């Protein structure tokens, strides 16, 4: 029986470290540390930004800018805070700036006014395009969810995306959006009810209650 | 529980964050309200759909583009806010704050120990103790508390507390001005806050208050910021006296 050559698996020395520890290494100049953080968070940041502004190309640019800001400010990061909260705060702020600049470009200065301006027909962003290799029904539902998200006011959208899409805790959402816990909870509950009302016709629920 | 208050608990109910009492109360409501029960079910499905949303992937070149931008240095120029944030760090600001706190503490200590030199209130107290009560100095100072108005010289548009006399009184060192000026109020027995008609002679005692005393002094009167009218008594001559107390200019006009 032939003996198989011993294969040495290349191990990532940072794989077992927490985000905070990796960020600490990154702050001391570790490129590998920064690369690890990009790999860990690229999808989540892209997801968050894209759900906010519904424009894939621009969302990717903003996501890149988020990581560049992390890199630029790596020495200012304090390990006492959660890295995820820090990076999501940067992402939310950049996304809000993007929304503001779009609104300003349209001659409107309030995010909520933009919703009013569009008559509740959604924000003036390109439609979300679902991925092509997905089941038709699931794609349709995802499209409807994206559309429903787009139509709720931004302050509700950001809270519900952070909680239900990104899976952050209420405390983290409050910290990122700088609002108290009670406001976070009521805002998320309200956002969910709005989404439920918009998605109800597409959910095929049997009235068996 | 009504439908509206039940609705506010839906999320907490689905996430199992209600207290036992709240849960029991909501469940009792859902048993009897078909509409709310359906709403909870719809919300549950909505949350499931939301959590099943696929992740939106970045392009394959995402990571390398970031590193290219870092290597080129193009993306590393800080924004103005970042630059300011980097410049005003805690280490840089700490000595500034400490110096500011020390200077403030020193200033407060000086004010507390020498109130007459800096605060109008302190000046009043000092003058009240060392200066005859009805002197023109005290008249002007009394007007700073807004409780009284100088006869013959109304507060004007600015008001008694902020007029030129108040400024004059509050900025002048009390000891110097009160000692260098003539002190006509020694002849009157009123306090600094108490005003009498400037046209009336001041009674020297309670017994002769009904009849004017031929020797009693009239109240002096401010004319301008720089002069007051020394009325003397009904036998003596009136004179206009400079407030400045410069002995060479002591008497300008004598009637």
- What does the DSSP assignment read for B58-122? PPTTHHHHHHHHHHHSTT-SPPHHHHHHHHS-HHHHHHHHHHHHHHHHHHHHHHHH-HHHH-HHH
Q: How far is Cα B249 from Cα B232, in angstroms, rounded to an integer?
A: 18
CB–CB contact A142 B54 (8 Å): yes
Q: How far is Cα B172 from Cα B174, in angstroms, rounded to an integer?
A: 6
Secondary structure element (H or E) that encloses residue A111, with its range: helix A111-117
Phi, psi of B230 (to 5 degrees): -85, 105
Q: What percent of chain A has pLDDT over 70?
A: 76
- Closest-CA distance, A117 to chain B, in angstroms, reads 27
Residue range A160-187, pLDDT digits in tens: 999 988 889 999 999 999 999 899 999 9
pLDDT band at A89; cut points 50, 70, 90: very high
Q: Which residue from B minimizes the CA distance to A143?
A: B53
Task: Identify the pLDDT of residue A55.
Answer: 82
Phi-psi region of B118 (alpha: psi -120 to 50; beta: other; left: phi over 0): alpha
Using a 10 angstrom Cβ sphere, with 0-12 exposed, 13-18 middle and 19 or more buried, the burial of residue A120 is: exposed
Q: What percent of chain A has pLDDT over 90?
A: 31
Q: How far is Cα A185 from Cα A160, in angstroms, rounded to an integer?
A: 10
Task: Identify the pLDDT of residue A11.
Answer: 63
Q: Which residue from A minimizes the CA distance to B14?
A: A189
Phi, psi of A95 (to 5 degrees): -70, -40
What are B65's two structure tokens? Answer: 């583009």
Size of interface A-B (CB pairs under 8 A): 109
Task: Identify the pLDDT of residue B216.
Answer: 61
Q: Give the angle B50-B56-B61 at the CA atoms, nearest 5°.
A: 170
Q: What is the DSSP letter of A124?
A: S
Question: What ipTM was estimated for this complex?
Answer: 0.73
- Closest-CA distance, B66 to chain A, in angstroms, reads 6
Cα separations in angstroms, B173 against B126, B137, B168, B191, B240: 10, 11, 10, 21, 23
| pLDDT(A193) > 90 | yes
- Residue of B6, B10, B31, B58 to mutate, testing the A interface (most A Cβ within 10 Å of its Cβ): B58
- Residue of B4, B7, B11, B63 to mutate, testing the A interface (most A Cβ within 10 Å of its Cβ): B11
Would the pTM count as exceeding 0.90? no
Task: Identify the pLDDT of residue B4.
Answer: 87
Q: How far is Cα B55 from Cα B57, in angstroms, rounded to an integer?
A: 6
Helix axis angle for B120-130 and B164-171, nearest 10°, is 70
From chain B, pick out residues whose CB is under 8 angstroms from the CB of A73.
82, 85
| pLDDT(B120) > 90 | no
| pLDDT(A46) > 90 | yes
CB–CB contact B56 A50 (8 Å): yes
Cα separations in angstroms, A103 against A81, A146, B39: 32, 20, 34
Residue whose pair of structure tokens reads 């990571």 in the numeric block: B63
Task: Identify the pLDDT of residue B242.
Answer: 72
How many CB atoms neighbour CB A143 within 10 A?
Answer: 15
| pLDDT(B188) > 60 | no
Q: Which residue from B minimizes the CA distance to A160?
A: B50
| pLDDT(B59) > 60 | yes
| pLDDT(A191) > 90 | yes
**A160-178 per-residue burial string, b: 16 or more CB within 10 A, e: under 16:** bbbbbbbebebebbbbbbe
For chain B, the average pLDDT equals 66
């Amino acid at each position: 029986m032939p003996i198989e050559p011993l294969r040495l698996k290349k191990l990532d020395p940072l794989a077992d470290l927490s985000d905070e520890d990796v960020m600490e290494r990154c702050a001391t100049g570790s490129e590998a540390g920064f690369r690890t953080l990009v790999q860990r968070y690229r999808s989540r940041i892209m997801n968050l930004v894209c759900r906010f502004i519904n424009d894939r190309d621009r969302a990717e640019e903003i996501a890149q800018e988020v990581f560049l800001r992390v890199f630029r400010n790596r020495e200012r990061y304090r390990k006492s805070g959660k890295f995820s909260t820090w990076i999501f705060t940067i992402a939310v702020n950049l996304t809000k700036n993007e929304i503001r600049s779009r609104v300003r470009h349209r001659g409107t200065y309030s995010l909520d006014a933009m919703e009013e301006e569009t008559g509740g027909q959604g924000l003036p962003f390109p439609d979300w395009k679902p991925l092509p290799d997905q089941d038709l029904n699931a794609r349709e539902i995802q499209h409807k969810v994206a559309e429903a998200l787009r139509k709720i006011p931004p302050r509700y959208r950001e809270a519900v995306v952070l909680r239900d899409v990104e899976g952050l805790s209420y405390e983290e959402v409050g910290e990122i959006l700088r609002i108290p816990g009670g406001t976070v909870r009521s805002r998320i509950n309200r956002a969910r009810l709005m989404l439920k009302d918009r998605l109800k016709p597409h959910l095929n629920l049997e009235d068996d209650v | 529980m009504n439908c509206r208050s039940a609705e506010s608990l839906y999320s907490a109910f689905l996430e199992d964050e209600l207290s036992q009492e709240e849960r029991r109360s909501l469940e009792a409501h859902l048993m009897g309200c078909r509409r709310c029960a359906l709403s909870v079910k719809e919300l549950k499905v909505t949350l499931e759909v939301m959590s099943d949303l696929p992740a939106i992937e970045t392009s394959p070149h995402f990571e390398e583009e970031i590193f290219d931008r870092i290597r080129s240095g193009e993306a590393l120029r800080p924004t103005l806010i970042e630059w300011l944030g980097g410049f005003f760090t805690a280490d840089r600001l700490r000595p500034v704050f400490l110096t500011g706190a020390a200077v403030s503490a020193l200033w407060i200590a000086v004010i507390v120990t020498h109130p007459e030199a800096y605060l109008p209130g302190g000046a009043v107290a000092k003058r009240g103790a060392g200066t005859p009560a009805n002197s023109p100095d005290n008249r002007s100072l009394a007007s700073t508390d807004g409780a009284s108005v100088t006869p013959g010289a109304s507060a004007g548009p600015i008001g008694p507390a902020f007029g030129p006399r108040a400024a004059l009184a509050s900025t002048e060192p009390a000891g110097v001005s009160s000692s260098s000026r003539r002190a006509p109020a020694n002849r009157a027995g009123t306090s600094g806050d108490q005003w009498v008609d400037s046209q009336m002679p001041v009674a020297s005692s309670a017994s002769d208050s009904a009849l004017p005393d031929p020797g009693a002094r009239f109240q002096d009167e401010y004319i301008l910021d720089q002069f007051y009218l020394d009325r003397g008594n009904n036998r003596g001559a009136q004179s206009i006296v400079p407030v400045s107390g410069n002995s060479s200019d002591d008497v300008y006009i004598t009637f």
